[in-house]
């Protein structure tokens, strides 16, 4: 760990590590539930010390950590795959598209990174209970890391949270409190709970170490990319903490003199949950009136980290874009069939955005573009099944198989291996035909 202070993102005041726990006390006085958080803190390290000690030959990542390694929970988080896609980007006219697949974390989402660091902090502070509100992923992540660290996770979720995520939390042993209303209601209730009853609050952005935890994905991209900075990173945005974390990673590296520029960040939101997008475009903040998208992980009315997220995008020289639910569902199928990655709808939004950006001139054909996949598709199978018709069983005879293939228009692909390799095509065909029928 390197020495650090917390700096308020609103007023710039600095605080010693144990002087504050959540927000800047002065700016938080103006905060009231129902608006984005004010006084979100950012850890500012001794960058000269990092520069002196960091070596690419033997990288010590704990230099960038705001909690000592001895407090880390015993569960491996991060180090997820980073690779170039062979076909996906080319379909849309981009030659150099890479994927960071953070759906392969222990609880199957990037949010494990934030939970990991906050639970490490709970270890340091000897807090036995960690509390959060979440649309699902942050809660499953907290439940998983708390299980490994033998802590109590107390979780407030909107009653509409997808069942697989609830099942995850309960299996991990968390105490789950479904709340009537939206994520924002669950968020408010969790703040009230920790203020009155104690425990460490892990709410995203509210606890500054959520941003620090999420920044590790940016540090990893830099290392896995042979210490080069990508040109652009497309990030699914709900609350705006992941995109701030990614930006923070590259800002830390730049402040330590290890890189000379930061990547352009593209904020990707769902059309029906677009508060940060509108804020970036117009400079005026307004809540998303009816956050109602199939991409539940990025469905937020009042994004808690709206101010820092907007700043990250603008500072990086990036921009914002929205995609519709239909575009997200279509992109989910394309990503799966072209790369083997089954991503949840929120993550599929970045693929939909890339497709939409074809020919727009906002991204260059040859620049290195990274798609950040933040959650696994198995977390929300119900949504993925909306446009899919599962094939019916056949008689266990070759004739039965032939009949089935004929039905799918694949009669001449008779070898068993071909039939197997085409099963994905079959699903896609039935997905398409069902779609056509629906229209
Ligand atoms: Zn302040």
Concatenated DSSP letters for 208-224? Answer: THHHHHHHHHHHHHHHH
CB count within 10 Å of CB 290 equals 10
Instruction: Please give the distance, rounded to the nearest whole angstrom, from the Cα atom of residue 331 to the centre of ligand 1.
Output: 41
- Alpha helical stretches, state H, 14-106: 25-28, 47-53, 88-91
Instruction: Please give the distance, rounded to the nearest whole angstrom, from the Cα atom of residue 199 to the centre of ligand 1.
Output: 23
Instruction: Please give the distance, rounded to the nearest whole angstrom, from the Cα atom of residue 41 to the centre of ligand 1.
Output: 8
**Contact assessment for residue 240 and residue 304, using Cβ atoms and an 8 Å cutoff:** yes
Ion ligand 1 nearby residues (CB, 5 A): 8, 10-11, 13, 24, 26-27, 39
Instruction: Please give the distance, rounded to the nearest whole angstrom, from the Cα atom of residue 202 to the centre of ligand 1.
Output: 20
Residue 311 confidence (pLDDT): 97
Q: Residues for the chain: how many in total?
A: 439
Give the 3-state secondary structure of residue 176: strand
Instruction: Please give the distance, rounded to the nearest whole angstrom, from the Cα atom of residue 11 to the centre of ligand 1.
Output: 4
Are β-strands 152-158 and 232-236 bridged in parallel, bridged antiparallel, or unpaired?
Answer: unpaired
CB count within 10 Å of CB 29 equals 11
Distance, CA of 30 to CA of 86 (rounded, Å): 50
Distance, CA of 86 to CA of 96 (rounded, Å): 9
CB count within 10 Å of CB 415 equals 8
Instruction: Please give the distance, rounded to the nearest whole angstrom, from the Cα atom of residue 312 to the centre of ligand 1.
Output: 18
Residue 136 confidence (pLDDT): 83
- Per-residue pLDDT tens listing for the chain (439 residues): 789 999 999 999 999 999 999 999 999 998 887 789 999 999 999 999 999 999 999 999 999 999 999 999 999 999 999 999 989 999 999 999 999 999 999 999 999 999 999 999 999 999 999 999 987 889 999 999 999 999 999 999 988 887 888 899 999 999 999 999 877 788 889 999 999 999 999 999 999 999 999 999 999 999 999 999 999 999 999 999 999 999 999 999 999 999 999 999 999 999 999 999 999 999 999 988 888 898 988 888 889 999 999 999 999 999 999 999 999 999 999 999 999 999 999 999 999 999 999 999 999 999 999 999 999 999 888 888 888 888 889 999 999 999 999 988 876 544 444 444 444 444 444 454 444 333 3
Instruction: Please give the distance, rounded to the nearest whole angstrom, from the Cα atom of residue 39 to the centre of ligand 1.
Output: 5
Instruction: Please give the distance, rounded to the nearest whole angstrom, from the Cα atom of residue 36 to the centre of ligand 1.
Output: 14
Query: Between the CA of residue 419 and those of 49, 338, 404, 406, 427, what are the distances in Å?
Result: 59, 18, 10, 11, 12
CB count within 10 Å of CB 258 equals 17
Instruction: Please give the distance, rounded to the nearest whole angstrom, from the Cα atom of residue 25 to the centre of ligand 1.
Output: 7
Q: Of the candidates 199, 281, 211, which has an alpha carbon nearest to the alpha carbon of residue 23?
A: 211
Instruction: Please give the distance, rounded to the nearest whole angstrom, from the Cα atom of residue 211 to the centre of ligand 1.
Output: 17
Instruction: Please give the distance, rounded to the nearest whole angstrom, from the Cα atom of residue 274 to the centre of ligand 1.
Output: 26
Residue 17 confidence (pLDDT): 95
Strand partners, 386: none
Instruction: Please give the distance, rounded to the nearest whole angstrom, from the Cα atom of residue 243 to the centre of ligand 1.
Output: 21
Instruction: Please give the distance, rounded to the nearest whole angstrom, from the Cα atom of residue 15 to the centre of ligand 1.
Output: 10
**Contact assessment for residue 342 and residue 378, using Cβ atoms and an 8 Å cutoff:** yes
Instruction: Please give the distance, rounded to the nearest whole angstrom, from the Cα atom of residue 24 to the centre of ligand 1.
Output: 5
Instruction: Please give the distance, rounded to the nearest whole angstrom, from the Cα atom of residue 5 to the centre of ligand 1.
Output: 13
CB count within 10 Å of CB 390 equals 8
Instruction: Please give the distance, rounded to the nearest whole angstrom, from the Cα atom of residue 12 to the centre of ligand 1.
Output: 6
Buried b / exposed e over 215-242, threshold 16 CB at 10 Å, is bbbbbbbbebbeeebbbbbbbbbbbbbb
Query: What is the DSSP secondary structure assignment for residue 390, as one 8-state letter?
Result: P
Query: What is the DSSP secondary structure assignment for residue 106, as one 8-state letter?
Result: T
Residue 31 confidence (pLDDT): 86
**In angstroms, how far is CA 145 from the centroid of its own chain?**
17
Instruction: Please give the distance, rounded to the nearest whole angstrom, from the Cα atom of residue 166 to the centre of ligand 1.
Output: 36
Angular region, 222: left φ>0, alpha ψ -120 to 50, beta rest: alpha
Instruction: Please give the distance, rounded to the nearest whole angstrom, from the Cα atom of residue 7 to the centre of ligand 1.
Output: 8
Instruction: Please give the distance, rounded to the nearest whole angstrom, from the Cα atom of residue 207 to the centre of ligand 1.
Output: 14
Give the 3-state secondary structure of residue 267: strand
Instruction: Please give the distance, rounded to the nearest whole angstrom, from the Cα atom of residue 17 to the centre of ligand 1.
Output: 15
The pTM score is 0.91
Instruction: Please give the distance, rounded to the nearest whole angstrom, from the Cα atom of residue 6 to the centre of ligand 1.
Output: 10
Pull the structure tokens for residue 422: 């085409």
Give the 3-state secondary structure of residue 23: coil
- Tell me the CA end-to-end span of the chain in Å, nearest whole number: 57
Instruction: Please give the distance, rounded to the nearest whole angstrom, from the Cα atom of residue 307 to the centre of ligand 1.
Output: 13
């Amino acid at each position: 760990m390197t020495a650090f202070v917390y700096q308020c993102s609103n007023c710039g005041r600095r605080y010693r590590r144990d002087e504050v726990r959540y927000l800047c006390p002065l700016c938080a006085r103006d905060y009231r539930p129902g608006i984005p958080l004010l006084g979100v803190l950012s850890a500012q390290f001794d960058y000269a010390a990092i520069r002196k000690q960091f070596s690419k030959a033997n990288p010590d990542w704990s230099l960038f950590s705001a909690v000592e390694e001895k407090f880390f929970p015993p569960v491996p988080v991060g180090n997820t795959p980073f690779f170039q896609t062979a076909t996906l980007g080319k379909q849309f006219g981009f030659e150099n598209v890479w994927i960071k697949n953070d759906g392969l974390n222990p609880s199957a989402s990037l949010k494990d990174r934030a939970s990991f660091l906050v639970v490490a902090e709970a270890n340091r502070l000897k807090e036995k209970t960690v509390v959060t509100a979440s649309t699902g992923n942050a809660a499953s992540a907290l439940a998983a890391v708390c299980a490994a660290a033998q802590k109590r996770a107390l979780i407030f979720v909107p009653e509409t949270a997808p069942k697989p995520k609830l099942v995850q939390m309960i299996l991990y042993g968390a105490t789950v409190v479904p709340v009537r209303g939206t994520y924002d209601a669950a968020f408010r209730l969790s703040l009230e709970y920790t203020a009155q009853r104690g425990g460490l609050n892990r709410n995203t952005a509210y606890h500054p170490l959520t941003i620090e935890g999420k920044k590790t994905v940016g540090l990893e991209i830099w290392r896995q990319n042979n210490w080069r900075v990508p040109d652009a990173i497309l990030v699914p945005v709900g609350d705006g903490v992941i995109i701030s974390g990614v930006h923070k990673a590259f800002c830390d590296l730049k402040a330590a003199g290890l890189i000379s520029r930061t990547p352009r960040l593209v904020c990707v939101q769902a059309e029906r949950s677009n508060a940060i997008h509108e804020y970036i475009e117009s400079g005026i903040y307004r809540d998303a009136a009816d956050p109602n998208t199939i991409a539940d992980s990025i469905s937020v009315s009042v994004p808690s980290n709206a101010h820092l997220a907007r700043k990250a995008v603008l500072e990086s020289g990036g921009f914002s874009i929205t995609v519709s639910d239909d575009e997200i569902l279509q992109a989910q199928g394309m990503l799966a069939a072209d790369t083997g990655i089954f991503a949840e709808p929120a993550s599929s939004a970045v693929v939909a955005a890339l497709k939409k950006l074809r020919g727009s001139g906002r991204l260059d054909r040859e620049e290195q573009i990274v798609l950040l996949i933040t959650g696994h598709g198995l977390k929300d199978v119900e949504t993925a099944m909306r446009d899919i018709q599962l094939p019916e069983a056949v008689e266990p005879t070759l004739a039965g198989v032939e009949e089935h293939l004929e039905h799918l228009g694949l009669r001449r692909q008779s070898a068993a291996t071909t039939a197997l390799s085409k099963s994905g095509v079959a699903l896609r065909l039935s997905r398409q035909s069902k779609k056509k029928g629906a229209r």
